[in-house]
Structure formats: structure tokens, C-alpha cells
A and B are shown apart, each in its own frame.
Chain A
Amino acid sequence: MSSCKEVAKIALAYWADRPLHPKDNELCVLHGILHFAKATDTVAAIQRGLKLKSAWTRAMGILIREKKGAAHTGWLPKVASALEEFLGVWINGAKEEEALWLLAHKIPCFIIHKVPVSELYLFTEDHKYPDFMVKMDALLLHRESNSFDHLVIKTFTLINDQLDQGRIPRLNPVLCAQDRGLSDPIMQGWLGSRHVALDKIQYFSLPHRF
């Protein structure tokens, strides 16, 4: 961690927000006899802390190596395939130089775009899912795939299914067409099977091959 103090020189905010858990006293709890729920919550919290520390160290390693903040200001000729062992981010609302930095470091980047009703005919029916869970990685949390939830069925544990919407805004943010226009892959230059700019690069590079 001492070498990571260099981070402070690059961006004090990153150092101030560095993940500190798990601490030694949190780990002591694991020894001895425990209630199952306590063990589950404690281990889950420790594992979260370890994942977070690992992610922070990896990202800070890049910042130290590059000796600058997480912003890519140069030209990126094209988007390379991501390293899919990382979770990645939704880049809607991110600044351009931040998103380019993530893409340059092969972090999986995802974009959500609201499709106007008038354009729905452009999509074939078999590509539509009825909710955000279908075929998504979060399906692993479902009780059919989740060992913890599977226990509940086996042991007749009571379920708390009381709804709680308090932490979610009730309305979508108000965005004008200009704010959201470029979340559409077509507006980004995607022509259905290829990107218009890569097509041009290929076309203009043809003479060099002969």
C-alpha cells in the first residue's frame, strides 16, 4: 500500500476515498461459533472489501504509471475488445475523456438508449427481452441459481417481500434530444453490420495494399 501513496500526488481525492475494509478487527469475528446469517453477512462484506481493494489498486497502478488522472485526451483510432474479466461501467452521462480512458484500458463499456416508438419497426422481434434480467449476468442471483436462496426453499425460511422504492427516483431524468441523441449506435456511425468510419479507413487504405 505504501507505493500507492504516490496516488496522493496525482489525485488526492482517490487517496482519500481508498477502500479501507476489511480491517483486522472485522476479520476476528470469523473465528469461533457463529450464527449462519452473521457468517454470511460478514464474509460477504469482507469479500466486497477485498474486491474493492483489488480494483482500486489496479486502477491506481495505471494512474501512477501514466502519471495523470483518468482522462484520455489523445486520439483513439478505434475501440479495442474489452477485458471481460472486469465488470465494466455504464458510460451514459460520463465525460468524453473519461469514457475514452476506460475504452483505452479495455474496460467493458455499456450504453443504454431509449428507442422511440417510431423506430421500433427497425428491430426484429426475436431480439426483445421482457425485462432487464433476461439473459443478463444478474440472473445468477436468482433463487434457481443461488445456493443461499435455494436454502430458503429447503428450510421454509420466511421471506420479506415488502417493497422499498425509497432510494430510486420516481421519474427518469429530463433530457433533451441533444443530450441523449448519441446514445443511439446508429448516430455513433453504426450502419447495421459495420462502422462507417472503419469502412472509410478500409476503403482509403486499399491502394496501399497493391
Chain B
Amino acid sequence: MSPFIHRPTDVGFDSHCYATKRRYSIFGYYDMPTVNDAMTFMLPPFPNLHTCLVTSGSKTWQLWSPNSSLKAFYPRIHAPGFEVRMEDKEERRRFDGHLGRFDPMKSLQHYDSHRLWLGFVHRDYTTSSQIEHILSFLAWESLPPHNGFHDLGKLDMAFIIQLTS
């Protein structure tokens, strides 16, 4: 089967909608930071420095990298023992289904030697054709309202096959 390609069609109704209230995807990202800026060893010499300053409240932080020019979001530190997972209550979930600022698939986190592979997660690219980066939004096929539900539909079969193969 050919790979999923988004082809917008107008079927006269649109069921891209949520039955319950939820959180904006950006929820929590602007909260005041709790920061761990510990650093007790010297890095090898670095030929380039990429840096920016963030001033929040009365404090200023320098965010820098010895090897990357990307601007990275600082997720803050979380409470000990906290485990990032999908919220049980739908109203506490985000519209796009991601898990917030501590979601290691969305934002880089503090290094965790027990999960060293998190640094190897591929960055999201909106233009990527890899199935793990394609928005499910684009594969949604709306169905007409049924039994009072206006949010029913199905996912494009090529998208499902690509996702599950």
C-alpha cells in the first residue's frame, strides 16, 4: 500500500472537535521556572558558543550550548519521583495529546543516566514524512453526526498501516 498522503476533502461536515474541555497544548510552559544550574566539571574546548538570555521575574538565566545552535526550551526540574504519563481525566489532557513540558518526546530534558537514550529522540519536524511526526489531525476522515455525537470519524487506512508496520 502506498504511504499516507494528506488529501483534504470537503465532505460537508467536520468532526475535528472535542466532546469535553481540555487544556491548550502550551499549558504550563509559561510557569515560573525551578532551575538546576549545577555544573561541576570542565568541558573540552568548544569552538563555538550559542547563547541567549532569559529574564523572568527578577532573575536572569543564560541558556547556552557548546555544540548546538538551536534554541531549546528549558522544561524546568520536576518533583522527585514524578513520572510523565497521560492524565486519566480527559479535561487534564492537552488538545494535541502531548504530555506537557516534561514530555521527553517533545522537549529535551535534564540528563537522566537511567534513560540515556532520551537525548537520541528525533526532533519534531512539521515537514517530516516519517509516520511518528505526521499529525493524526491530517489523517482524520469525518463522519456525519450519529446518536448526538459530532466528533466521530475514522483514520485513513494508509496512515494506520504505516503507523503499525
> A residues bordering B, Cβ < 8 Å?
13-14, 17, 27, 30-37, 39-41, 43-48, 50-52, 54-56, 58-60, 70, 75-82, 84-96, 98-100, 102-103, 106-115, 117, 120, 123, 127-138, 140-143, 146-149, 151-152, 155, 157-161, 164-173, 175, 178-185, 188-190, 194-198, 201
A40-B136, A41-B97, A109-B68 known; A87-B123 Cβ under 8 A: yes
Q: A76-B44, A108-B72, A190-B49 are in contact. List 12 more A-B contacts (CB 8 A).
A: A40-B96, A46-B163, A47-B131, A86-B122, A88-B68, A103-B66, A168-B76, A169-B77, A170-B34, A188-B42, A198-B47, A201-B45
Closest to A196 in B: B45
B residues neighboring A (CB under 8 Å): 15-31, 33-49, 51-56, 59-79, 82, 86, 90-93, 95-99, 101-111, 113-124, 126, 131-133, 135-140, 143, 149, 151-155, 160, 163-164
Bound-state CA distance A84–B122 (Å) is 9
Q: Contacts of B45 on A, CB cut-off 8 Å?
A: 77-79, 189, 195-198, 201
Given A79-B45, A137-B72, residue A160 in contact with residue B121 (CB < 8 A) = no
Q: Is the interface of A mostly helix, strand, loop or mixed?
A: mixed
Which chain A residue lies CB-closest to B56? A131
- Are the C-beta atoms of B65 and A108 separated by less than 8 Å? yes
Pairs across A and B, CB under 8 Å, 11 listed: A55-B121, A59-B116, A70-B116, A90-B108, A93-B36, A94-B111, A96-B40, A127-B52, A128-B53, A151-B17, A173-B34
List chain B residues, Cβ under 8 A from A77: 44-45
A146 contact set on B, CB distance < 8 A = 25-26, 95-96
B38 in contact with A183 (CB, 8 Å): yes
**Count of A-B residue pairs with CB < 8 Å:** 429
Contact A17 B114, beta carbon cutoff 8 Å: yes
| Nearest-Cβ distance from residue A88 to partner chain B, whole angstroms | 5
Closest to B152 in A: A33
Indicate if the CB atoms of B164 and A27 lie closer than 8 Å.
Answer: yes
- Contacts known (A113-B62, A147-B137, A164-B28); A188 close to B43, Cβ less than 8 A: yes
Which of A13, A80, A87, A178 is B107 in contact with, Cβ under 8 Å? A87
- A54, B116: Cα distance in complex, Å: 13
CA distance A167 to B64 in the complex (A): 26
Task: Report how far A39 CA is from B97 CA in the complex, Å.
Answer: 9
Whether the pair B40, A179 counts as a contact (CB closer than 8 A) is yes
- CB distance B21 to A158 under 8 Å? yes
- Residue from A77, A112, A147 with most neighbouring chain B CB atoms (10 Å): A112
Inside 8 A of B31's CB, which chain A residues have their CB? 165, 168
Docked complex Cα distance between A113 and B62 (Å): 5
Closest to B68 in A: A108
Are A120 and B60 neighbours in the complex by a CB distance under 8 Å? Answer: yes
Q: Which residues of chain A are near B99, meaning CB under 8 Å? A: 48
Q: Give the 5 A-B residue pairs with the shortest CB-CB distance, closest first.
A: A44-B97, A158-B21, A43-B136, A108-B68, A138-B73
B65 to chain A: closest CB distance in Å?
Answer: 5
Chain A residues closer than 8 Å to B96, beta-carbon distance: 40, 44, 141, 146-149
CA A152 to CA B19, docked complex, whole Å: 11
Q: Using Cβ atoms and an 8 Å threshold, which residues of chain B touch A173? A: 34, 36, 38, 77
- When the two chains form their complex, are residues B70 and A157 in contact, meaning their CB atoms are under 8 A apart? no
Whether A169 and B79, one on each chain, are in contact in the complex, defined by CB atoms closer than 8 angstroms, is yes
